[in-house]
Chain A
Amino acid sequence: MLQIKNLHAKVEDKEILKGINLEVKAGEVHAIMGPNGSGKSTLSSVLAGREAYEVTEGEVLFNGKDLLDLAPEERANEGVFLAFQYPVEIPGVSNINFLKTAINEKRDYNKQEPVSAKEFLSLVKEKSALVELDAKLANRSVNEGFSGGEKKRNEIFQMAMLEPKLSILDETDSGLDIDALKIVANGVNKLKSPENATIVITHYQRLLDYIVPDFVHVLYNGRIVKSGTKELALELEEKGYDWIKNELKV
């Protein structure tokens, strides 16, 4: 589904991604861990198409298409979804209006009819229940005045509404209380299918107890320096990143 080959990217003349290689197949869950500032959010931003990041080398294929050649909205409509580490507040734009616009643009992209009011409402009901998002929040401005945890739930709610093929969850667990963590993880699991794939970026092994990854990668200084199975996350939790840094020095 996703093939990242030797991806280099810089921001304001500072190279942050220094040759990333990663392949994600349909049905898989990949976890990316790594110390602060190692480039995890940069990788997600580059995949989602944020303009500030300049790709200097490498390529990214998404279901055979050159992802880097597409505008952010085209990537989304092809099925890429990024749950932001820091969701943006948009005063005045109602969550509902925003989602309806998004769904209809996707339908338009896929040459489908716009969603009917009734269909849309029942979707909202179903999907907000999935992440136990308070119905009142759906009617407020996008993320405005939402608590940290509510913002994260709202990201997963949007993901549920848009049914992406590839979801990238950038530290969706941070800011969630223990119950919310379970709810959100449960939501993600319910949306899982053999046709879609998930990349979870996290600092905490705990999330991976709920969203069980097939692969765990360690991103350090702009490169994936170690990959393994879910046991790698446990090892990291226990030993921290120093042993990997030391390993690299040798």
Chain B
Amino acid sequence: MIAELTKKDLIIEQLNALTFHAENEHFKTLRQAARTALADLEFPTSKTEYWKYTRLGKVTNKTYTAQSAATVDPTPFLIPGLDAHILVLVNGRFKAELSSFSSQPGVTVLALQEAKTASRTAFTKHFNQYTVQQGEIFMELNNAYHTDGIYLEVEKGIVAEKPYHVLNITTGNQNIVQPRNLIVSAPDSQIKLIESFVTIEAQESFTNSIAEFYVAENASVEYNKIQSFGPDNYQIATEQVYQESNSRFTVNTATFNGTLMRNNLNVEVNGTYCETNLGGLYLGKGKDHIDNHTVIDHKQPHCNSNEVYKGVLDDESTGVFNGKVFVRQDAQITNAFQQNNNILLSDNATVNSKPELEIYADDVKCSHGSTTGQIDDEAIFYLQSRGISKRNAINLMINAFAKDALEKITIEALEEYINTKIEARFTK
């Protein structure tokens, strides 16, 4: 008797058809270990605590194919006025001919597949290091079947001169895309990145992306993520971050829409005197479902973390925020601040917000808060009474509300780009 294939089996069957570049034994073994792990994992149900508020039926019911890279025009997705290296991935594969970047001594930029072939020491040391055996099916799916992505390495003491913009473009129908990045920043280095996820005429595509970050002593990494999919596309994005002493890691996530968007952001702070900043802004409309799950794990003393997520939800959209902060026993003198605020623009919009603090040390300063409210009608009337249309009044209020969620962005052109996108969204 043949056992009935599960949804997972069906998706894996498709992925098994993928051909990868020749990889050496080390990387093959990593993929194989993930395949083995997948055998024991199933797609989460609403009973799975980690996925309680996000039903994945929509995503897991489809019959995906992993489609090859099409030729597309990336220019509409570039950030005006931004002087950056542009690295374009189409359907999870690096496209050199669409990219434009120059080399800087001390900074290595490679397509992931090239990095595997080149077997750079730092790459081999850190790749897959932060995603292994986490018991998460989507992480293992990417571990086993990722196609390509970007490897960025900044050597000791090097400051990357320009930001790197990794642009992920997805096309096609029911396309499964699994890009994968690794960013290694050596001691005393600095780098800024933007990663955007967009679609061109894509329908019911599923992006299951991973980015790993290794932040060495006294290094500084700023990672800005923009999710701006067309309707009916899904993404599960995972970032795994590892921080050493005296390092700074800042991540800003701006989610402009998404039928189903789930961000898993996990930061392990395993050094002293670190700084960790998590900013997030999500704007839902229609039936969008936007879910942010974050974990900051403070393992060592004298660290600060600061997390601000803000959501504006219209129509029948849903926002989910789950922010966990662990302060382990050794992590004395930790300052952990976390905040999630939401505005509901319609009676049918909903938010599930759950900040969680788990503190095992005694000398710490931690705070968390969560608010969900309507836009202040009195304020809207006040603005209208000065001649401002209701739409613009709402726009002013939303901009004011959203402002501090992404205030840690230090790339001016990006800030402007995001503001314009927010405005375009709420102006008539």
The residues of A with any CB-CB pair to B shorter than 8 Å are 48-51, 71-73, 75-77, 81-82, 84, 87-93, 97-99, 101-102, 105-106, 109, 141-142, 158, 162
8 contacts between A and B (CB under 8 A): A73-B386, A73-B387, A81-B385, A88-B382, A89-B379, A90-B400, A93-B397, A98-B388
Q: What 16 new A-B contacts, CB under 8 Å, besides A71-B384, A99-B386, A141-B400? A: A71-B390, A73-B386, A77-B387, A84-B385, A87-B382, A90-B397, A91-B400, A92-B399, A92-B400, A92-B401, A92-B403, A93-B397, A101-B396, A102-B387, A106-B387, A162-B387
| CA gap between A97 and B401 in the complex, in Å | 14
- The answer on a CB contact under 8 Å between B400 and A93 is yes
Check if B389 is an interface residue, CB within 8 A of chain A: yes
B378 at the interface (CB under 8 A from A): yes
Which residues of chain B have C-beta atoms less than 8 A from A73's C-beta? Answer: 384-390, 393
Contact (Cβ within 8 A) B384 A84: no
| Alpha-carbon separation in the docked complex, A51 to B377 (Å) | 10
Complex Cα spacing A172 to B229, Å: 50
Q: Which 3 A-B pairs have the closest CB atoms?
A: A92-B400, A76-B387, A72-B384
Q: Which residues of B contact A102 (CB under 8 A)?
A: 383, 386-388
- Between B387, B396, B401, the greatest number of chain A beta carbons within 10 A of the residue's beta carbon is seen for B387
CA distance A81 to B382 in the complex (A): 11
Shortest distance from the beta carbon of A83 to any chain B beta carbon, whole Å: 10
| A109 to B392 alpha-carbon distance, docked (Å) | 14
Question: Which residues B383-418 have CB closer than 8 A to chain A?
Answer: 383-390, 392-393, 396-397, 399-401, 403-404
Interface residues on B, range: 20 to 34
Knowing A50-B381, A90-B382, the reply to whether A109 touches B387 (Cβ < 8 A) is yes
Chain B residues in 8 Å Cβ range of A92: 397, 399-401, 403-404
A174 to chain B, nearest CB (A): 18
List chain A residues, Cβ under 8 A from B390.
71, 73
Q: Which residues of A contact B393 (CB under 8 A)?
A: 73
Are A76 and B378 touching (Cβ within 8 A)? no
Chain A, residue nearest B382 (CB): A88
Asked whether A90 and B386 contact (CB < 8 A) given A97-B396, A101-B396, the answer is no
Are B388 and A101 in contact (CB-based, < 8 A)? yes
- Give A45's nearest chain B residue, CB to CB: B381
C-alpha gap A105/B388 in the complex (Å): 6
Report how far A250 CA is from B413 CA in the complex, Å.
Answer: 74
Q: How far is the CA of A141 from the CA of B403 in the complex (A)?
A: 13
Q: Which residue of B lies closest to A80 (CB)?
A: B385
- Nearest to A101 among chain B residues (CB) is B388
For residue A214, give the distance in angstroms from its CB to the closest CB of chain B. 25
A40 to B60 alpha-carbon distance, docked (Å): 61
Choose among A49, A76, A90, A162 the residue with the greatest number of B CB atoms under 10 Å from its CB: A90
| A204: min CB distance to chain B, Å | 24
A77 to B384, CA, bound (A): 10
Query: Looking across the interface, which residue of chain B has its beta carbon closest to that of A141?
Result: B400
Which of B376, B385, B392, B400 has the most C-beta atoms of chain A within 10 angstroms of its own C-beta? B385
Chain B residues with Cβ below 8 Å from A72 are 381, 384-385
Are the C-beta atoms of B386 and A158 separated by less than 8 Å?
Answer: yes
- Chain B contacts with A in 309-345, Cβ cutoff 8 A: none
Of chain A, the residue at the smallest CB distance from B384 is A72
Task: Find chain A residues with CB under 8 A from B379 CB.
Answer: 88-90, 93
In the complex, A161→B269 CA distance in Å?
A: 52
Q: Which residues of A contact B397 (CB under 8 A)?
A: 90, 92-93
A93 / chain B contacts, CB cutoff of 8 Å: 379, 383, 396-397, 399-400
User: Which residues from chain B contact A99 at a C-beta distance below 8 Å?
Assistant: 386
Nearest-Cβ distance from residue B415 to partner chain A, whole angstroms: 16
Output the nearest chain A residue to B402 by Cβ-Cβ distance: A92
Q: How far is the CB of B427 from chain A (nearest CB, A)?
A: 11
How far is the CB of B385 from the nearest CB of chain A, in Å?
A: 5
Residues from chain A with a CB closer than 8 A to the CB of B387 are: 73, 76-77, 102, 105-106, 109, 162
Closest CB in chain A relative to B386 CB, distance in Å:
4
With contact pairs A92-B400, A92-B403, A101-B392 given, residues A76 and B386 touching in the complex (Cβ less than 8 Å)? yes
Across the interface, do B396 and A98 meet the contact criterion of CB distance under 8 Å?
yes
Cα–Cα, bound, A75→B384 (Å): 9
**Chain B: minimal CB distance from A125 (Å):** 19
Q: Which residues of B contact A50 (CB under 8 A)?
A: 381
* B385 near A48: Cβ-Cβ < 8 Å: yes
- Residues of chain B contacted by A48 (CB below 8 angstroms): 381, 385
A92 to B402: give the CA distance in the assembly, Å. Answer: 9
Q: Are A84 and B382 in contact (CB under 8 A)?
A: yes
**CB pair B396 A82 closer than 8 Å:** no
Instruction: Give the contacting residue for A105; candidates B392, B400, B404; CB below 8 A.
Output: B392
Question: Which residues of the partner chain B approach A71 to less than 8 Å between Cβ atoms?
Answer: 384, 389-390
Which residues from B are CB-within-8-Å of A89? Answer: 379
